[in-house]
């Protein structure tokens, strides 16, 4: 990210802090800039307490002791569970860097003095809370959470060592008494998204003739009525397929076939259908519990469909009342992740969906970063679709999808095998979604998806590169309409290489704003014309013995064209 560029995540966080705490916190300082910075610093501390200690915004603000003689501690709060929270907060305007070592050391000294009962070293605001702090520390189940909250990046080892020393000093005889946490911008953004995430589903289900698997992980399976599935779909909507790779896709050949079976042969639906698979955080059988397994009721927590969204969607189309007269059943499997490894749910999802016709790009839904990018962009007024559904909005100036993003990101590649990415962007975009199988110890060089959707990719860059790609596609297409046949074909076939060269030359995908501004659009327009001219010149002045389409679908030819173009463009761009 270029120097001076403020992360989108910080701008979104600031909007949240303003809307939540504007009427509750007053910044202090000698000028407006200082007051603004102080407000945001206090708001960061209050936000962390709200999210991690579970208190109200008002209580979080009341916890502030920021001011003279605060001894490096900005907020002190005793939570309802008896935990003492001690927070130091720092607003870093750039979104990068870390708090000063001196400030962190001062915070450590303040924590030590507070735990030692040296209240005379603190200001009056802290001493107002003295009785509640003393009562907390006198409790046999006492816990202290020390938090450094800031809007920068990762903290260095010297800061980490300060907190490590604190934990070792206090936990030697009383494990888990003091725990230290450093929350930078990345963590604060996750708290922001989590605070508005859909609540997990807890429900009761009934299974007939159910079976049980006890190890290595618990699971139940049995016959579930279509009516109960229809009621579940109506009550929870898309939340019930939150972890599935696709939402209900509506009128497809397969779904129409299921609807026909439900209409004409509902009693045979169990035999014709593959069934539905659920993942859940926990599942337990409810009383009464008969000796047989003919019928069982279960309490299921954190439940989500990971295979069978089209089945449940088709059943939901009929409505629950329909099955009073046309009863149908489905094989349902519930897999508990309670004792399973962290990645087991994703692996189950991948393998269960690999048995049927599924597009490679659908598996991007298994990448939790996709949901984070979606939520981040949504807060900025942009709709990003990475999980297909029948009600997806059409592409527009503020709507795009993972399928549009992948070829644009492919043209950003500058690694040694970049020609393969540019050719695939034109010829076979599904290859861009190839991923290493989610199996332990697997390492695949064909994991093109991870090369495009990296940990370093930001929501801002994701949307900017799509905007740039759109301008290139539209400009080149419009220009081709006015060219003679040979030039028009070169432009149409070479537009992905034009995008690749443009991104190298301008770096505008790394711009500061979420939206391309007028100056950037003008710069792009000029650059596209220059690059398009050079592309035509290079192709027409060489003997290829093949049509333009074949040239731009051959990695060696693409590299040859680019090498000639870059040499000529040194002076013009």
Measured from the Cβ of residue 175, the count of other Cβ atoms closer than 10 Å reads 9
Listed range (89-98, 105-114, 302-311) with the worst mean pLDDT: 302-311
Number of structural domains found in the chain: 3
Percent of the chain with pLDDT over 90: 60
- 142 and 48 in a single domain? The answer is yes
Long-range contacts of 470-473 (CB under 8 A, 24+ apart): 471/516, 471/521, 471/524, 471/525, 471/528, 472/498, 472/499, 472/502, 472/524, 472/528, 473/499
Residue 187 — φ and ψ, nearest 5°? -65, -40
Half-sphere exposure of 293 (CA within 13 A, CB side): 10
> Cα 100 to chain center, whole Å?
30
Inter-axis angle of helices 485-506 and 459-481, to 10 degrees?
160
pLDDT digits 0-9 by tens, 324-380: 999 999 999 999 998 888 778 878 887 777 544 445 555 566 677 888 898 899 999
Kindly indicate the confidence band of residue 3, based on its pLDDT and cuts at 50, 70 and 90: very low
Beta bridge partners of 280: 336
Q: Is the pLDDT of residue 322 over 90?
A: yes
Mean pLDDT of 256-276: 88
Q: What's the CA gap between 164 and 169, in Å, rounded?
A: 9
- 23 and 76 in a single domain? The answer is yes
Stronger pLDDT, 291 or 438, i.e. the higher one: 291
Cβ 17 vs Cβ 27: under 8 Å: no
Mean per-residue pLDDT of the chain: 88
Conformational region of residue 356, where left means phi above 0, alpha means psi within -120 to 50, and beta covers everything else: beta
- 492 and 401 in a single domain? The answer is yes
Q: Is the pLDDT of residue 311 over 90?
A: no
353 is in which domain, residue-wise? 202-358
Q: Note whether residue 1 is domain-resident.
A: no
How big is the chain, counted in residues? 573
Distant-in-sequence, close-in-space partners of 316: CB < 8 Å, separation ≥ 6? 229, 230, 233, 234, 248
Distant-in-sequence, close-in-space partners of 23: CB < 8 Å, separation ≥ 6? none
Name the DSSP letter for residue 330.
Answer: E
Cβ 85 vs Cβ 145: under 8 Å: yes
- 18 and 146 in a single domain? The answer is yes
Kindly indicate the confidence band of residue 250, based on its pLDDT and cuts at 50, 70 and 90: low
pLDDT digits 0-9 by tens, 155-201: 999 999 999 999 988 988 888 899 999 999 989 998 888 776 556 78
Residue indicated by tokens 């995908």:
509
Long-range contacts of 356-361 (CB under 8 A, 24+ apart): 356/274, 358/245, 358/246, 359/430, 359/433, 360/430, 360/431, 360/433, 360/434, 360/435, 361/402, 361/403, 361/406, 361/430, 361/433
CA angle 303, 305, 306 (to 5 degrees): 120
Cβ 323 vs Cβ 225: under 8 Å: yes
Residue-wise DSSP of 222-250:
EEEEHHHHHHHHHHHGGGGGTTSS-----
Percent of the chain with pLDDT over 70: 91
Cβ 167 vs Cβ 156: under 8 Å: no
Q: Note whether residue 399 is domain-resident.
A: yes
Residue-wise DSSP of 354-374:
TTS---GGGGGGG-HHHHHHH
- 152 and 215 in a single domain? The answer is no
Q: What does the pLDDT read at residue 309?
A: 83
Which among 149, 170, 195 is the end of a domain? 195
Q: What does the pLDDT read at residue 567?
A: 85
Q: Note whether residue 364 is domain-resident.
A: no
pTM of the model as a whole: 0.64
Q: Note whether residue 41 is domain-resident.
A: yes
Q: Note whether residue 337 is domain-resident.
A: yes
Q: Is the pLDDT of residue 252 over 90?
A: no
Q: What does the pLDDT read at residue 197?
A: 58
Q: Note whether residue 254 is domain-resident.
A: yes
Cβ 88 vs Cβ 74: under 8 Å: yes
Q: Helix, strand, or coil here: 54?
A: coil
Q: What does the pLDDT read at residue 204?
A: 94
Which among 331, 358, 385 is the end of a domain? 358
Q: What does the pLDDT read at residue 443?
A: 35
Q: Note whether residue 34 is domain-resident.
A: yes
- 414 and 333 in a single domain? The answer is no
- 303 and 171 in a single domain? The answer is no
- 411 and 549 in a single domain? The answer is yes
Which among 144, 170, 195 is the end of a domain? 195
Which one, of 520, 518, 516, 514, lies nearest residue 10 by Cα?
514
Cβ 246 vs Cβ 305: under 8 Å: no
- 318 and 345 in a single domain? The answer is yes
- 325 and 445 in a single domain? The answer is no
Q: Note whether residue 543 is domain-resident.
A: yes
- Alpha helix stretches (DSSP H) within 54-205: 57-62, 101-115, 124-128, 130-138, 157-171, 185-195
- Please give the C-alpha separations between residue 154 and each of 187, 194, 376, 546, 566, in angstroms, as whole numbers: 10, 20, 20, 53, 38
Q: What does the pLDDT read at residue 440?
A: 42
pLDDT digits 0-9 by tens, 423-481: 999 998 888 888 765 444 433 335 788 889 988 899 999 999 999 999 999 999 999 99
- 252 and 334 in a single domain? The answer is yes
Cβ 75 vs Cβ 46: under 8 Å: yes
- 387 and 346 in a single domain? The answer is no
Q: Extract the runs of DSSP E, i.e. beta strands, from 321-430.
A: 329-336, 383-385, 399-401
């Amino acid at each position: 990210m270029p120097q001076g560029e403020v992360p989108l995540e910080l701008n979104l966080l600031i909007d949240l802090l303003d809307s939540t705490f504007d009427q509750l916190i007053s910044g202090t300082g000698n000028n407006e800039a200082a007051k603004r910075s102080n407000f945001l610093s206090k708001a960061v501390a209050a936000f962390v307490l709200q999210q991690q200690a579970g208190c109200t915004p008002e209580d979080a603000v009341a916890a502030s002791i920021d001011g003279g003689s605060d001894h490096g501690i900005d907020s002190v709060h005793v939570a309802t569970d008896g935990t003492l929270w001690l927070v130091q907060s720092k607003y870093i305007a750039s979104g990068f860097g870390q708090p000063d070592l001196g400030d962190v050391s001062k915070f450590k000294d303040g924590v030590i003095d507070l735990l030692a009962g040296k209240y005379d070293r603190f200001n009056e605001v802290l001493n107002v809370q003295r009785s509640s702090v003393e009562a907390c520390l006198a409790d046999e189940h006492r816990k202290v959470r020390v938090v450094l909250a800031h809007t920068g990046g990762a903290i260095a080892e010297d800061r980490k060592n300060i907190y490590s020393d604190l934990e070792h000093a206090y936990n030697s005889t009383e494990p888990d008494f003091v725990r230290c946490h450093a929350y930078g911008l990345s963590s604060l953004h996750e708290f922001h998204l989590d605070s508005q995430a859909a609540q997990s589903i807890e429900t009761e289900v009934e299974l007939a003739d159910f079976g049980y698997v006890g190890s290595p992980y618990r699971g139940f399976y049995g016959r579930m009525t279509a009516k109960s599935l229809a009621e579940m779909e109506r009550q929870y909507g898309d939340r019930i397929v939150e972890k599935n790779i696709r939402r209900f896709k509506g009128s497809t050949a397969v779904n129409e076939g299921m609807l026909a079976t439900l209409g004409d042969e509902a009693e045979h639906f169990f035999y014709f259908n593959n069934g539905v698979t659920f993942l859940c955080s926990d599942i337990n059988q409810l009383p009464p519990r008969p000796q047989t397994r003919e019928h069982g009721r279960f309490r299921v927590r954190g439940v989500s469909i990971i295979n069978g969204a089209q089945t449940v969607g088709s059943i939901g189309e009929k409505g629950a009342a329909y099955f009073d007269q046309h009863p149908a059943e489905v094989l349902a499997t519930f897999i508990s992740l309670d004792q399973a490894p962290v990645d087991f749910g994703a692996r189950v999802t991948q393998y269960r969906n690999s048995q049927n016709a599924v597009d490679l790009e659908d598996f991007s839904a298994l990448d939790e970063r996709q949901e984070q990018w979606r939520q981040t962009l949504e807060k900025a007024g942009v709709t990003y679709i990475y999980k297909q559904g029948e009600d997806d909005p059409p592409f527009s100036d503020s709507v795009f999808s993972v399928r549009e993003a992948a070829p644009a990101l492919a043209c950003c590649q500058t690694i040694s095998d970049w020609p393969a990415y540019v050719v695939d962007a034109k010829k076979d975009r599904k290859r861009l979604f190839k991923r290493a199988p989610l199996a332990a110890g697997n390492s695949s060089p064909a994991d093109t998806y991870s090369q495009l959707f990296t940990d370093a990719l930001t929501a801002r860059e994701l949307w900017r590169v799509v905007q740039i790609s759109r301008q290139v596609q539209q400009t080149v297409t419009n220009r081709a309409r006015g060219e003679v046949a040979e030039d028009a074909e070169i432009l149409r076939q070479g537009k992905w290489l034009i995008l690749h060269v443009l991104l190298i030359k301008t770096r505008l995908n790394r711009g500061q704003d979420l939206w391309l501004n007028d100056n950037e659009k003008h710069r792009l327009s000029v650059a596209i014309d220059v690059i398009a001219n050079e592309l035509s010149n290079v192709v027409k002045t060489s003997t290829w013995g093949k049509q333009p389409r074949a040239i731009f679908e051959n990695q060696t030819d693409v590299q040859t064209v680019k090498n000639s173009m870059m040499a000529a463009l040194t002076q013009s761009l």
